[in-house]
Amino acid sequence: MKTGWLFLRSLVFYVGYSLSMIVQSVLASVVGVFSRDMAYRICVAWCGFGVWWARIACGIRYEVTGAENIPDGACVVLSKHESAWETLFLQSLLFPSTTVLKRELLSIPFFGWALRLLNPIAINRGEPAQALKAVLRQGEERLASGRRIIIFPEGTRARPGEQLPYNVGGAMLAARTGVPLLPVSLNSGDCWPRGTMLKRPGVIQVVIGAPIDSHGTPAKVLNARARDWIEAERATMSRIATATAPLSQNM
* pLDDT category of residue 1 using cuts at 50, 70 and 90: low
Residue 35 lies in a domain: no
| Burial annotation 2-15 (CB, 10 A radius, 16+ → b, else e) | eeeebeebbeebee
Q: What is the CATH number of the domain that holds 141?
A: 3.40.1130.10
Domain that holds residue 194: 60-249
**Per-residue pLDDT tens digits for 201-246:** 999 999 999 999 999 999 999 999 999 999 999 999 999 888 877 5
The order of strands in the sheet holding 97-102 is 60-65, 202-208, 181-186, 76-79, 148-151, 97-102, 121-123
pLDDT score recorded for residue 246: 58
Residue 99 lies in a domain: yes
User: Which of 61, 59, 85, 53 is CA-nearest to residue 6?
Assistant: 59
Residue 20 lies in a domain: no
Residue 101 lies in a domain: yes
**Per-residue pLDDT tens digits for 127-136:** 989 999 999 9
* Mean residue pLDDT across the chain: 93
Residue 26 lies in a domain: no
Helix axes 3-32, 36-58, angle to 10 degrees: 170
Q: Based on the structure, what is the number of domains in the chain?
A: 1
